[in-house]
Amino acid sequence: MYADNTLTPKEATRLCALGMLADGPMAYAELAAGVRHFVTHVMGPSLDVLGTSIELLKHEGLVKALSGEKDQAILQITPDGMAELRTLLTARIKTAENDLNKLVIALKFRFMDFLESGERILQIDLLIDAVENELARLEDLRAHHSDDSVHLIEWLDREIEDLERRVDWLKAKRARV
């Protein structure tokens, strides 16, 4: 993890692989394809993110082969893998919006069911804080540039509106959890 306890690109991929296996055993090739599909559809292709080896997860004892060999090996998450999944799921969230952060947020929602109710609420609270920080940053920028180009102001207004809707959605989601 980074010094601020947020996920690195490789840890995001690790979270994806462990979360998929937490849903149930699957073939090595199916897992690799599933991770690649999810990651590339959320953030686009990235060598930084897709560089995590499933073999490394096996070597670390986070997953184990139940049967078969190579691409056809049926993998299962271990108790240590479940503990690692929970650690990754509860990592902090960066406030800046970027493709990696979008992936981490998508993964948190994808695998949130593996957390206890209180942990789910805490994760949603972290998301609310991150969005509210982003919102405050853009509102400050808008105030500073209020006399600038109308095009910039229109763009900032749209971004601010999107963030306000996201905060409202997250608060409603929190109430449902």
In tens, the pLDDT along 38-74 reads 998 998 776 655 656 788 899 999 999 999 888 889 9
- pLDDT for res 76: 96
- pLDDT for res 34: 93
128 closest CA partner among 172, 78, 75: 172
- pLDDT for res 52: 60
Out of 3.40.250.10, 1.20.1280.20, 1.10.3470.10, 2.60.34.10, select the CATH number for domain 116-177: 1.20.1280.20
- pLDDT for res 59: 92
Distances (CA, A) of 21 to 25, 61, 126: 6, 13, 25
pLDDT tens figures, 91-131: 988 776 788 889 999 999 999 999 999 999 999 999 999 99
Domain ranges of the chain: 1-92, 116-177
- pLDDT for res 55: 84
Q: Does domain 1-92 have CATH number 1.10.10.10?
A: yes
- pLDDT for res 35: 92
H/E element, 30? helix 28-43
Residue 21 has pLDDT above 70, yes or no: yes
